[in-house]
Amino acid sequence: MYGLVNRAIEEMVCGSQGEETWERIKCEAGVDTDVFIGNQGYDDAITYRLVGAASQVLGLPPERILEAFGEHWVLKTARDGYGELLTAGGSSLSEFLQNLPSLHARINLMFPHLTPPSFSCTNVTAESMDFHYRSKRQGLAPFMVGLLRGLGKLFDTEVYIEHIEARSAGADHDVYHLRWRRTQP
């Protein structure tokens, strides 16, 4: 994963728990990197170790850490660093999710070694859809839930997420049934 992912985890932890807690998490994870360089690639194992260590240090299940990180990614990292891309993705949650493949194509231009997940939408109505998430990386379905919640907040939309097919339960990819309601006119 690119360093910007690990740096965003650091920002999330430092912002809510303080720098001392982040140092404990890095120590527990066996990570001695002082600064993660945003556009530099790092072994995925570092990110997984940081999430596992955060789980232990904070006393939260790894799934909760990943969900919180997904929300943080949308509401802080992506909005602050890639706001124009987010804006270009659409003006509603539904439009944005349907445009995710083209958004990732643009991101691939900035990060040529990126191995992004793929997304598709089926059964789209005015108030719901089935959202398909495919990734070569294992165990990130809770991160996707956090991303979806964060996107709901970004678009002032109350989103209900039901994980209807799970890769962890034997499906070939994760499918979420989403229903939403705009909270702002």
E runs forming strands in 23-173? 118-122, 128-134, 157-165
| For range 11-36, the mean pLDDT | 95
| For range 132-150, the mean pLDDT | 95
Query: Any long-range contacts for 60-63 (C-beta under 8 Å, 24+ apart)?
Result: 62/139, 62/142, 63/142
Structure confidence at residue 77 (pLDDT) = 73
Domain regions of the chain by residue span:
3-60, 65-182
pTM of the model: 0.90
Class of domain 65-182: alpha beta
In this predicted model, what pLDDT tens digit does every residue of 101-118 receive, in sequence order?
877 666 666 666 677 889
